A and B are shown apart, each in its own frame.
Chain A
Amino acid sequence: MSKILRAELVELFMEEAASYIPAIRQNLDKLAAERSATSALAELHRLFHTIKGAAAQVQLADLSQGARFVEDFLEELIEEGRELTVQRLENLEKITDMLGEMVDTSGDSSADSGDFHARVVALFSDTVAPAEEAPAAPATADPVFADERQECLMAIRSIIPLLQELAGCIVPGVAELEEYNGMVFKKLDHAVAVFSTAVRTAGMDGQYRLMRDFQLLLGKLHTDGIWSQPEVAGLISDFFQFLDAIFTHGDPENSSTVSRVEHQLQAFHSLLAVFHNVQPTDAIEAETGLDEDIFAAPAADDESVILLEQLVETELPEDVDLLSDWQEEWAADGQAVLAEQEPTVSEDQLLLLEIFRAECDEHLIVINSSLNSLEHQVEQPSLLTPELREILSEMRRAVHTLKGAAAMTGVNLLAQGAHSLEDLLDWLHDEATEITPTEVGILATGIDVIELLSQSPEASGAEHLSRLVATIDGHLAQAGGRTAAGEAELAWEPADKESEKPEAVETTLAETDPKEETPTRLPGESGFLRVRLDDLDELIGIEGELVVARGSVEKMLDEFGQTLIEFDNVKENLRRKSQELEAGFEVKSLYGFNPVAPGNSGEPATGDFTEFDPIELDRYSQLNLIIRSLNEITVDINSIHATLALLASDIRGQVSKQQLTMRLMQEKLMRIRMTPMSSLSRMLFRTVRETAKKLEKKVNLIISGEDVYMDRFVWAKITDPLMHILRNGVDHGIESPRQRMAANKPEIATIRLEAEQHSRFVVLRVSDDGGGVDMARIKAKLQNEGLVANPDLLSEKELIEYLFHPSFSTREDVSAISGRGVGLDVVRRNIQDLRGSVQMQNKPEQGVTFEFQIPFTLSVNRAAIVSAAGREFAVPLQDIQQVKRYGAAELEAGDGLYLRFGERLVAVTNLGYCLQLEGRNTTLPAGGEGLLAIVFKKGEELRAVSIDEVMEQREIIVKNLGSHLTHVPGISGVTLTGAGELIPILNLRELVEIKATMAKGEEEVPQPLALNDPLKVLIVDDSISVRHSVARLVESQAWKQQQAVDGVDALAKLASFLPDVIVLDIEMPRMNGYEFKSNINNNEAFRDIPVIMLTSRTSEKHQQKAKELGIHHYMTKPYQEAAFVRLLENIRSGSVQ
């Protein structure tokens, strides 16, 4: 925009904005009187919207942003149906005052003082607005309202064909009708603005968004000066067709439909970017045709009519039916693009792009691999041997396939780039007799451009593409006349714009390859399936849930087994009792226990067979029959028990099988997440190539072990450190070619990157043949900065360690490549985050080697469950160097506690202290029992934590800590047991580091934590119904319970379960309640446990006896559940004893 013109436009804008101020104030007054005046809100919104757009048009960005902020706020209010608060009203008044001041001045500088937006935001932020309670939303179910809305929508819809017709009135490409076209365009824009307001107030937010976007598009068309291009009329017409189609849809606000049209609008924008690059953007020429500002005030209606009347006398050229011709031609070019980009829904297009990107990566791997081979082999102009041609052929195939895929997906610039590159490859392969490093360089640049286009939005790569095309075209043109001895020079000047014709777009998209018959491989044909990472992670999550569920099943199996054992005991009891009964009473029962008649009638015997003694002839009494029945029941129970035991065994077998299968599945799923190192090779090659080029050094990167696999996430984390090491190596380590020649080294330096897998770790080694680390310089730096008094006393290892310190660098000047001193410390931290380590070895004059050791997956499969301070925690096995009970001889106490690990003394901290559960322990364990401790690595040093016990080692599934606690220092997640209990997973390195940051010498008294353990209840009652009833009640309160059948059983339970309260019956076999309480009164550990006597005995005598034994709570059956729960809660809270 020319300065002269801008000043005029700004002045015009000021006048316009000033004309809005009274209207704004008027509406604010209305709102002051009635804060829910929606029409006033709507009008205010419209005014600020207009100001926003107009300010943007004249490049008053700050003012535009400020107006936009207000517009958005008002929009939100209107949408949510909220009332404007007093505070907000005041804010708006202040903003209006500010606006008034700004537009009252005439100069540019004050108009865009740069702080209007900031002041608006500050006004809204400073006010702590009370929660603005939303009044009830409009009842859309109101039928009267619905009818009126429908009528409004019909009225709106009827305008669409008119707007279409108006769009059709634009006559592009006719210079004499420029002014006429401008008038039509302006009218169209105004109509769209009013249309959008109307749909908005009718509540059609989706339509409003579309209209707003379309209005922005129209503005952009005008600003870029291409609004009069032939294609634009077709664009506008198409948009209205879409809009009409939406309005005929049953649900015009249907999000998929709206999204589809939005997608088309975005495609228009993309197309504009293409046209913008190839067309002369003569903004001045365009703007001199501009009559007034595009966002017309209502008065523009009158002006358009005046213009129209003036133009009535102008004669049109005879053949004015150019519109359809242009539209057809445009349809052949640009419409093809749109057609390709028209999936059923925009989500499909996104998916297609994703698939394309994945495919693109694969092709780029092949292309880069070929390029590396060329770079190694073509160090000077070389004859094209069959081997070289084969490399070119492979590269060309991949480029060709990539081009086709890009064109199909609509990634047009990339397709163009690939096409251009293919031209060069075709010439090299088919016509050239030799290949030069320059040509390899052009190929490398071309590949870099393609990489850029595959990653970033197309519009931003257009410039690079145009340069590439120009370079290749220029080179090919020169190379056509090249002799065997000569070389073409690179033409890096930007190409003449006139040579960049739109036909370039056409030919790229429409051309089919005449020579290569290799068909484009579609996704799905290669035997591979692309899967979204999110889907894979979800699958892994589901598998994790299965593991937890399996854990639950195993736990239930254990309980089932336990129940079977109890069942067995009961069965045995029953069998014994039956036998006793049979042995003790069967004979007696024959005499006088109501003998019954033979048969099953049960009728009393009538005295037959009296000559026989009962022993000589069996006769059966009632008791006899009962005894016999009991025996049969025992046999039946036996049989059922055997069946259950068999079932349990079978289920256990199935669960074991499931465990194996799930482990396999887990390994497979983790494997799927893994990618080989080759997935980042090309990035590394490019890093070295670019850095060497910038520093004018010659470096070859050789990578071995590209088939080593690691988790994708790990590669992602390690890429930056690797790239930094490589850049560092080229910058610091590798000498210049001259220096290398002088040192009798090959001119071209070599950096090797080797990857090897060792068990669960991957070792990456980066070594160069440069000059190594200059120890003298490190010493000088340490001395100059006062970091070390006498650096000569430090060993080489200690000196090198300083390179990993933050902000340490031996470079005098900081360059964009390295030397900023923030590199190696970050590298180390990144690697440590992966639970890995990095070491550096230096060989003076020969080079430096970095060695990384990283676990190849971050997943935690197995962990040791340990207890500390009475709680359980999980420690991943891969974090543990050793778990051992250290004897007294291996422990030392001094300034803290230490244990001997090999030759080293390792500091030990009690885990309970790290977890803020207990005080610090610095003394040796008493009684020679030793110290159970876990030794682990913290960076390069060893540390240890002492624990109470190792419970078990098991497979775990890591869950995060929920949506709130995204990170808790020292805790890397939580795992679920089969019973649903949570066990935190410790990050020992972080835990000890937190404690280490505390000042030494502090007397740390652990704060009493409000630990919220669930209440533990022991239920002692011989009645199974009562036990279960109480147990159910206890568990419903999320408390824990155990049951005992009598006093003896309860004593046995107390050995392993220390309850907070005992619920005790009186009358029980073997040991009644009184006996039990007497018993525990003699045991200091159990004496003070509160007891609730729950019995059906109500007499004073029984209650007195209970009191004497120290039982303070006496409840009779049946009990009130609420009262019972209240009593337990009171006992828990300590309000009662």
Chain B
Amino acid sequence: MSSFPDLFNLIRHIDEQLTEAAADSAALMQTPKSIPEKLTKYILVGAGNLHLAIAIEDMAEVGPLPAITFLPNLPAWIQGIVNIRSEIISVVDLPVFLGLAETGGAGSRFVVLHQRKLKVGIRLDSIIGTVGRFASDIKPLDAFDGNRLDKSLFHSGLLVEKRFYFILNVRKLLTAPRLVDYNRAG
């Protein structure tokens, strides 16, 4: 055990070290870092009258729509289920879910969105292409006529070849109470 004078010095030394370490770590936070802007890749799709941009990292599958197996007692915006390599995925008609259409579409394209363990398929009419955009390229929703849209799911978009594509907030969509609790919501 240290004697008192040594303890006194020990504590003083600890304080000095802590101050230095705290300053170092604080400086770390303030060090201007050369942060390259992140390029996000999106797939541009069409579903009904919606033109959407979906971040590729939020997608598990994209391609032709497999045969849908119908299930009863589900809301109209759930069209059924499909088999993707022995995995069962539900198929959602997004315009109907959003209240933008009354009847389901007949598109033959399909994208599977995922959020943690939840996977939901969205039926599409067309897959237009892919683009890569930086965060600074994203436009706010207010810049275009997005009043009719659910702002919790769409808050910004991309302008590609003079057409505005709403960026779908996949996390919000897949955690939307109405989607998750479909039995009650209808």
Taking a contact as CB atoms closer than 8 A, the residue among A136, A965, A980 that contacts B38 in the complex is: A136
B130 in contact (CB, < 8 A): no
**Residue A1014 at the B interface, CB < 8 A?**
yes
> A280 to chain B: closest CB distance in Å?
27
- Does A7 make an interface contact (CB < 8 A)? no
Q: Is the CB of B172 within 8 A of A198?
A: no
A128 in contact (CB, < 8 A): yes
Asked if B26 and A201 make an inter-chain contact with CB atoms under 8 angstroms apart, the answer reads: yes
A131 and B169 in contact (CB under 8 A), knowing A139-B34, A971-B72?
A: yes
A35 at the interface (CB under 8 A from B): no
Kindly identify which residue among B5, B12, B70, B155 contacts A1009, using a CB–CB cutoff of 8 Å.
B70
CB distance A133 to B83 under 8 Å? no
Q: How far is the CA of A311 from the CA of B74 in the complex (A)?
A: 77
In the assembled complex, how far is the CB of residue A187 from the closest CB belonging to chain B, in whole angstroms?
6
Binds B, one of A515-523, A679-687, A896-904, A956-964: A956-964
| Complex CA–CA separation, A545 to B64 (angstroms) | 24
A1036 CA / B109 CA spacing, docked (Å): 11
Least CB separation from A195: chain B residue:
B18
What are the residues of chain A within 8 A of B7 when measuring CB–CB? Answer: 169, 184, 308
CB distance from A628 to the nearest CB of B (A): 50
For residue A994, CB closer than 8 A to chain B, the reply is yes
- In angstroms, Cα B21 to Cα A935, docked, is 78
**Is A976 among interface residues, defined by CB-CB distance under 8 A?**
yes
Choose among A162, A169, A980 the residue that contacts B17 (Cβ–Cβ < 8 A): A162
Determine if B24 and A962 form an interchain contact, defined as CB atoms under 8 angstroms apart. no
9-residue interface stretch from A145-153, A346-354, A366-374, A652-660? A145-153
Q: Are A320 and B1 in contact (CB under 8 A)?
A: yes
Q: Once the chains bind, are A155 and B36 in contact (CB under 8 Å)? A: no
Among B10, B68, B81, B182, point to the contact of A962 (Cβ < 8 A). Answer: B81
Q: Do residues A982 and B69 form an inter-chain contact, with CB atoms below 8 A?
A: yes
The answer to whether B22 and A194 have CB atoms under 8 Å apart is: yes
Interface: B159 (CB within 8 A): no
Q: Is A198 in contact with B21, judged by CB distance below 8 angstroms?
A: yes
- Tell me whether B80 and A321 are in contact (CB under 8 A): no
Contact, CB under 8 Å: B71 / A968: yes
Contact with B along A154-191 (1 / 0, CB 8 A): 01101100110110110100000000000010010001
Among A198, A323, A545, A967, residue most surrounded by chain B Cβ atoms (within 10 Å): A198
Residue among B35, B38, B104 with max Cβ neighbours from chain A (10 Å):
B35
Whether A1037 sits at the interface, judged by CB under 8 Å, is yes
Residue pair B70, A1011 in contact (C-beta under 8 Å): yes
B70 A871 Cβ-Cβ under 8 A: yes
Least CB distance from A246 to B in Å reads 16
Among B88, B138, B179, chain A packs the most CB atoms within 10 A around the CB of B88
Report B-chain residues with C-beta under 8 Å of the C-beta of A166.
10-11, 14
Given the contacts A130-B151, A166-B10, A965 and B182 also touching, CB distance less than 8 Å: yes
Flag if A1037 contacts B83 (CB, 8 Å): no
Q: Is the CB of A158 within 8 A of B108?
A: no
Shortest distance between the CB of A992 and any CB in chain B (Å): 12
| The residue from A136, A169, A187 contacting B2, defined by CB atoms under 8 A apart | A169
Per-residue 0/1 for A862-906: is the Cβ within 8 Å of any B Cβ (1 yes, 0 no)?
000000000100000000000000000000000000000000000
The reply to whether A961 and B80 form a contact with Cβ atoms under 8 Å apart is no
Tally of A interface residues using CB under 8 Å: 93
Q: Which residues of A contact B26 (CB under 8 A)?
A: 39, 42, 201
CB pair B36 A1038 closer than 8 Å: no
Q: A152 near B28 (CB under 8 angstroms)?
A: yes
A305 on interface, CB distance cutoff 8 Å: yes
Do residues B69 and A138 form an inter-chain contact, with CB atoms below 8 A? no
A916–B10 CB distance below 8 A = no
Chain A residues with CB under 8 Å of B74's CB are 965, 968
Known: A138-B35, A187-B11, A1132-B106. Contact between A133 and B135, CB under 8 A?
yes
For the complex, give the distance between the alpha carbons of A158 and B21 in Å: 9
> What residues on B are CB-neighbors of A984 within 8 Å?
69, 71
Q: Is the CB of B25 within 8 A of A961?
A: no
Contacts of B161 in A (CB 8 A): none
Which residues of chain B from 102 to 124 have a CB within 8 Å of any chain A CB?
103-106, 108, 117-120
Residues of A within 8 A of B20 (CB): 155
A690 at the B interface (CB under 8 A): no
Across the interface, do A1038 and B88 meet the contact criterion of CB distance under 8 Å? no
- Whether A142 sits at the interface, judged by CB under 8 Å, is yes
| A982-B81, A1038-B67 as given contacts; A165 in contact with B28, CB under 8 Å | no
- Decide: A131 near B135, CB < 8 A? Known: A166-B10, A201-B25, A962-B90: no
Chain A residues, Cβ within 8 Å of B182: 964-965
Q: Are A39 and B29 in contact (CB under 8 A)?
A: yes
Tell me which residues across on chain B come within 8 A of A1133, comparing CB atoms: 106
- CB B108 to nearest CB in A, in angstroms, measures 6
A38 interface residue per 8 A CB criterion:
yes
Task: State how many angstroms separate the Cβ of B104 from the closest Cβ of chain A.
Answer: 4
Residue of A nearest to B13 (CB): A162
A202–B25 touching, CB < 8 Å: yes
B72 and A159 contact, CB distance less than 8 A: no
Distance to closest chain A CB from B160 (angstroms) = 18
B147 interface hit (Cβ, 8 Å): no
Is there a chain A Cβ closer than 8 Å to B66's Cβ?
yes
Contact A128:B22 (CB < 8 A) given known A548-B86, A963-B117, A1014-B67: no
Cα A1132 to Cα B34 with chains together (Å) = 54
- Whole-angstrom distance between the Cβ of A989 and the nearest chain B Cβ: 14
CB neighbours (8 Å) of B76 from chain A are 1007, 1010
> Is B171 an interface residue, CB under 8 A from the partner?
yes
A-B contact pairs, 14 of them (CB 8 A): A128-B152, A131-B152, A136-B37, A139-B33, A155-B17, A169-B7, A194-B21, A198-B24, A305-B12, A871-B70, A917-B72, A964-B90, A968-B71, A983-B69
Chain A residues with a Cβ under 8 A of chain B: 38-39, 42, 128, 130-131, 133, 135-139, 142, 144-145, 148-149, 151-152, 155-156, 158-159, 162-163, 165-166, 168-169, 171, 184, 187, 191, 194-195, 197-202, 301, 304-305, 308-309, 311-312, 316, 320-321, 323, 545, 548, 871, 914-917, 959-965, 967-971, 974, 976, 980-984, 991, 994, 1007, 1009-1014, 1036-1038, 1129, 1132-1133
Known pairs A964-B118, A967-B183; list 12 more (Cβ under 8 Å): A131-B152, A145-B31, A148-B28, A152-B28, A198-B22, A202-B24, A320-B1, A964-B119, A976-B83, A981-B83, A1010-B105, A1012-B104
